[in-house]
Structure 1
Amino acid sequence: MENNEKKLQDLTALCKNRGFIFPSSEIYGGLRSAYDYGPLGVELKRNIMNEWWNEMVYMREDVVGLDASIIMHPQVWKSSGHLAGFSDPLVDCKICKERFRADKAPTAEEGEDIVISFPDKGKAKAALEYIKNTFDIELERKGKSLHGAKADHRGYKCPCCGASGQFLSEERQFNLMFRSFLGPVDPMEEIAQKIEQGKLQDLSGRELREEIQKSVDPSTVYLRPETAQAMFVQFQNIQRTMSMKVPFGIAQIGKSFRNEITTRYFIFRSCEFEQMEMEFFCKPDTAKEWLDYWKDKRLGWWQKYANTPENFKLRQHEESELAHYADNCYDIEYNFPWGWDELEGVASRTDYDLKKHESGSGKKLQYRDPETNEAYHPYVIEPAAGATRGVLAFLNDALCVDEIPDSKGVPQKRTVLRLHPRLAPYKVAILPLLRKEGMPEKAREVAKMFFESGINARYDEVNAIGKRYRRHDEIGTPYCLTIDGETLENNTVTIRDRDTTKQERISIEEAVQIVRDKLK
């Protein structure tokens, strides 16, 4: 586990040092759970999303796309159940100060002996003293852990330190949706002015809350917590305008926002993230068949771009795990440095969403079969993947350290990012061997050929050729073309393979097509 944690640290450092991902607003101290995708990160993420879109939309006749507004009518979230139910039980640990979801915490039987662990002895000593003074409880310290406490009736413990019982706060509901206001006037400012003017001083606490709610409600909107609902709301428009016949799907890529209780593992869980979702509408009696189809199809897509396909797997949800709208669900999990975790969900959402929005809007959201004239609410199979989690999974899959011989044949360690060529930020680097003798000019001519062909290439003349090779190995560039003295004589270049480091000479006229063929 220690090596896995180090790999995550190495990956985080590489992302910052090589221009993949930066902490947001870093010069101001950063903002928790917010990240900016740098020049290489934005290319990697877009490549993943483009490959998804190619697979889900361009290569199928039965799926079309949508790009919906992030801000929707608030009634959408009331009908979908998000306003009433999109909240989690929040608990604070009084020992390590971690905040966590009670329903996701490690379990513990009532009366079970628990061990409270810390990263070092100093913290364990301080906690021992704090527990004695605050709770009047004496525990036994053994190195970096405290012993003698018991779990209580709630049946869980802190996922960070292991504390339970009286060392945890009571549960309180935590709404995951970001709220905002539509319009030029801030209703909270109006309430503040009324309070300052003494207009609300005679109200009881309950009356004051009602007055605030009455002022806020008309202009309240929410940042969407998922992209799915727009596809249900626009179901009829898309089916009608595109003459789609069931079964068919609506695909969308876009940002979603969740006010997460805990953010962790770099970009794995953050408050702002990119989703790649598709809602596939089918006849109710075919839902099981389509669920089986899409779970296998989606797992195969992830594995197709991986060096280690076995690090992706399917896990079926237990009945107790299923969301209220689903009758079955599979997670596609990836073996991250901290263990197996969700990358994509493939859920059978039944006809729950269409019926809810039909009831909330008063508009029929049924499909009428043109052959049988039967009207019904289609069932929905939803593959919903995280693009940002995909970035982290493919980076982790690609990062490795190997050995290659230097110019004298001595093995040297190198860091290499073995990204699938179609995902790599740059597909090819154009490198003049020397910055003289006409090599840079010739190299720029070659680079221009790639620019005009639509293949993302990088002209690079900084540092010695060996360092440039290492740099492009580290950022995942699959091919390097080197322009040298022989190029000027016979119009050939060397093409170097990132993974094998083998080189061969090819003609400049064939270079673009050779790289294009390799990318296929």
Structure 2
Amino acid sequence: MISLCMKRFRICCETRSIRVPCRDFVGQYIANRYKTTVCPNDETDPTRMLLELCVDGFYVAPGQVHTDLFKRGMCCNYGPLGVELKKNLLEQWWSSIKRSRTQVFGISTLTTGDEKSGEGNPSLDVERLNQLLDADEFNKAQRTQRILMLLRQSTSLRTNLLQGALEQYISWLELVKRRLPFGLAETGLSFQPDGSGSRAEATYASLVWFCSPRSSSQWLDHWARLRLQWWRKFALAPSEFSSRDVQVDELQEGASRGVKIVYSFPWGQETLENLWSLGDSDLLQTHGGVRAKIQCFDGQKLVVPHVISVVSNMDRSMMAYMHNSLQLMKKHDGKQKLYRRKVLKLHPVLAPVKVALDMGRGATLEQRQVCDGLLQEFLDAGISAWPGSIDITSSAEKLNTKYDEMGVLFTMVIDENTLESGVLQVRSRDTTIRESKHISEVKGFLLRYMRAAHNM
């Protein structure tokens, strides 16, 4: 519908001699926003396998559009497990930044950019444009005037989180008594180039660190070292995460130095996080060049702070961790036939589902009641659980295969023996070993396991 609207708009412009201003970003944006690529039809291709698993495991909504956006590090329609993985990843990012330094404060800024500062990517009201194209009561001049007015009134969407932090800088100076260093952290959506000439939305996490000019280089090295350690903390293969200094010809405008944290995908390295040493020019420009009102104390000396920017693409990070966690395990079935077992070995802290409950085929009312009670107990304790009532027709082997592909840490089987003795079987995703545990022990076991995983 949107593509048809833009086609009609171009035809209208050509036939009625309507001149569209240089901000005719709309056609290019719409044309490229939903551009898709086709993965090779090869079962041995790990990328294709992972994207299929993303859909089958409820991480990404079905459809080539969504899997293509996800592969390119953009926002897409996520499924239940994708939402949980993203939430867990953002929580860990936020926790690591807040724990790393005491003088880091959270902020929230609007998604609309500041056109005066040149920030933002215009967003058009397509429905209103359709109405103008369909309206017969306007002549050529009137139609032109209204379309141009619509373009001028279009909302400007932010292209980064940095500008919002710079604008809020003065508001929080009293909070830190004008003493350096300190930082402002934020997570949210912004619009970035998607590699096809247009802009698309992605979820970013940002730390803007204000420090003294004499120590800015050391602070960049500090954050680069700390951030690489964090990325590798949750990795199954830490060496696939690496950092590199940015070459002079690749530096962001206004930056004197830069560091990129990258992940090695099968198709090449992709940037997960950018760290920039930006000096004081952006801060001065944001506040009209008035040095007096933005100065802070570096010891006893008043200085204009230098800015260190740390920006993480959380959508691409999800793809990186899922790719890093996917393993193909060789296994023999009951007939000694060799097959490949796909396991998404996400770090326990990131795994969207910690435990799945299985009642087996032909579950009785009593089994269902026990399952529902245990499920509620887990949820009350903050343990994400997958209900056993979703699939009660599949065999235990098929369910285990499904849960392994979903990345579920443990599967607990509630059977007739559980009703008689209170004992259930607990299967581990990583070892496939089954252990017998009393139903009164399983919540404590999971809480201890997660506590240990957080301290790894």
TM-score of the superposed pair, with normalisation by structure 2: 0.78
For the 8 Å contact 1:178–1:259, the answer to whether it is kept is no
Moved more, 391-400 or 435-444: 435-444
Are the structure 2 counterparts of residues 46 and 511 from structure 1 closer, same or farther at C-alpha, using a change threshold of 3 Å? same
- Mapped partners of 1:231, 1:456: distance in 2: 34
| 1:243 positional shift | 4.9
Structure 2 match to 1:47: 88
**1:452 aligned to which of 371, 380, 392:** 380
Q: Matched residues in 1 for 2:346 and 2:406: separation?
A: 9
Aligned residue runs from structure 1 range 51-450, under 5 A: 51-57=92-98, 60-76=101-117, 78=118, 82=119, 177-180=121-124, 196-197=138-139, 199=141, 215=149, 219-241=153-175, 243=177, 245-258=179-192, 260-262=194-196, 271-359=200-288, 365-369=293-297, 372=300, 374-406=301-333, 411-437=338-364, 438-450=366-378
| Counterpart position of 1:113 | none
| Greater Cα shift, 393-402 or 52-61 | 52-61
TM superposition shift of 1:215 = 4.6
Paired position in structure 1 for 2:21: none
Q: Which amino acid aligns with 2:345?
A: R
Equivalent pair of 1:355/1:365 in contact (CA under 8 Å)? no
Q: Give SS of 1:16's match.
A: helix
| Aligned-partner residue type, residue 174 of structure 2 | R
Q: Relative to structure 2, which stretch is displaced further, 185-194 or 442-451? A: 185-194
Q: CA deviation digits over 1:10-69, x for unaligned, max 9?
A: 111121222211267979xx9997620111111111111111011112564221111211
Partners of 1:387 and 1:22 in 2: how far apart? Answer: 18
Is the CA contact 1:354–1:365 (under 8 Å) kept in the aligned structure 2?
A: no
1:356-395 Cα deviation digits (max 9, x unpaired): 10127x69651332862x3322111112110000011011
- Letter aligned with residue 344 of structure 1: E
Aligned with 2:58 (options 19, 24, 42): 19
Q: Secondary structure at the match of 1:375?
A: strand
Contact 2:258/2:276, CA 8 A, preserved across alignment = yes
* Corresponding residue of 1:96: none
**What CA distance in whole angstroms lies between the structure 1 residues aligned with 2:281 and 2:258?**
14
Structure 1 equivalent of residue 4 of structure 2: none
Contact kept, 8 Å, 1:191 with 1:212, in 2: the verdict is: no
Unaligned stretches of 5+ in structure 1?
84-176, 202-207, 264-268
- Label 1:261 to 1:399 Cα distance change in 2 as closer, same or farther (>3 A): closer
Kept in 1, the 8 Å contact 2:75–2:315? The answer is: no
Aligned equivalents of 1:332 and 1:4: distance in 2? Answer: 30
What secondary structure does 1:21 align onto? coil
Distance 1:435 1:457, change over 3 A: same
Counterpart in the other structure of 2:415: 484
Separation in 1, partners of 2:136, 2:287 = 39
Say if 2:161 and 2:186, in contact at 8 Å, map to a contact too. Answer: yes
Residues 359 and 274 (structure 1), Cα distance of their counterparts in 2 relative to 1, 3 Å cut: same
| Aligned amino acid, residue 122 of structure 2 | F
RMSD between aligned alpha carbons?
3.6
**Structure that is richer in helix per residue:** 2
* CA deviation profile, 1:492-518 (whole Å, cap 9, x unmatched): 222211011012122222211211221
Structure 2 distance, partners of 1:188, 1:476, is: 45
Matched residue SS, 1:287: helix
CA distance in 2, matches of 1:298, 1:284: 21
Q: CA separation in 2, counterparts of 1:440 and 1:276?
A: 42
Structure 1 partner of 2:427: 496
Q: Are the counterparts in 2 of residues 487 and 493 from structure 1 also a CA contact under 8 Å?
A: yes
- Hey, what's the Cα distance between the residues in 2 that align with 1:383 and 1:446? 42
> Can you give the 5+ residue segments of structure 2 that lack an aligned partner in the other structure?
1-38
Q: Are residues 435 and 245 of structure 1, via their aligned partners in 2, closer, same or farther at CA, if it must alter by over 3 Å?
A: farther
Q: CA deviation at 1:196?
A: 4.3
Whether the 8 Å CA contact 1:187–1:215 is kept in 2: the answer is no
> What does the per-residue CA deviation read over 1:123-145, in whole Å, with 9 as the maximum and x for residues that have no partner?
xxxxxxxxxxxxxxxxxxxxxxx
Give the letter aligned to residue 408 of structure 2. Answer: T
**Partner Cα distance (2:208, 2:368) in 1:** 50
* Corresponding position of 2:406: 475
**Per-residue deviation at 1:7?**
1.2
Structure 2: distance between partners of 1:234 and 1:24: 40
Deviations 1:193-250 (A, max 9, x none): 999446589xxxxxx9xx8999568635411111111011001112324657321111
Q: Is the 8 A contact 2:424 2:436 kept in 1?
A: yes
Counterpart of 1:165 in structure 2 is none
Provide the C-alpha distance between the structure 2 equivalents of 1:234 and 1:194, rounded to a whole number of angstroms. 47
Contact 1:62/1:244 (<8 A) preserved: no
- Indicate how the Cα distance of structure 1 residues 236 and 187 shifts in structure 2: closer, same or farther if over 3 A, else same: farther
- Conservation of the 8 A alpha-carbon contact between 2:113 and 2:159: no
Q: Quick one: percent identity of the two aligned structures?
A: 26
| Structure 1: distance between partners of 2:116 and 2:233 | 40
Q: Is the 2:411–2:427 Cα contact (8 Å) retained in structure 1?
A: yes
Contact 1:419-1:476 at 8 Å conserved across structures? yes
Structure with the greater alpha carbon radius of gyration: 1
**Counterparts of 1:245 and 1:492 in 2: how far apart (Å)?**
59
Query: Which one-letter code corresponds to 1:251 in the other structure?
Result: A
Q: Is the 8 Å Cα contact of residues 367 and 377 (structure 1) preserved in structure 2?
A: yes
The question of whether the paired residues in 1 share the 8 Å contact of 2:342 and 2:405 is answered with yes
The 1:250–1:491 alpha-carbon spacing in structure 2 relative to 1, beyond 3 Å, is same
Write the distance in 1 (CA, Å) between the matches of 2:239 and 2:256.
Answer: 27
Q: Describe the shift of the 1:464–1:199 C-alpha distance in structure 2 as closer, same or farther (beyond 3 A).
A: closer
Q: Distance in 1 between matches of 2:44 and 2:163?
A: 37
CA gap of 1:363–1:244, structure 2 versus 1, over 3 A, is closer
Counterpart Cα distance in 1 of 2:414 and 2:140: 78
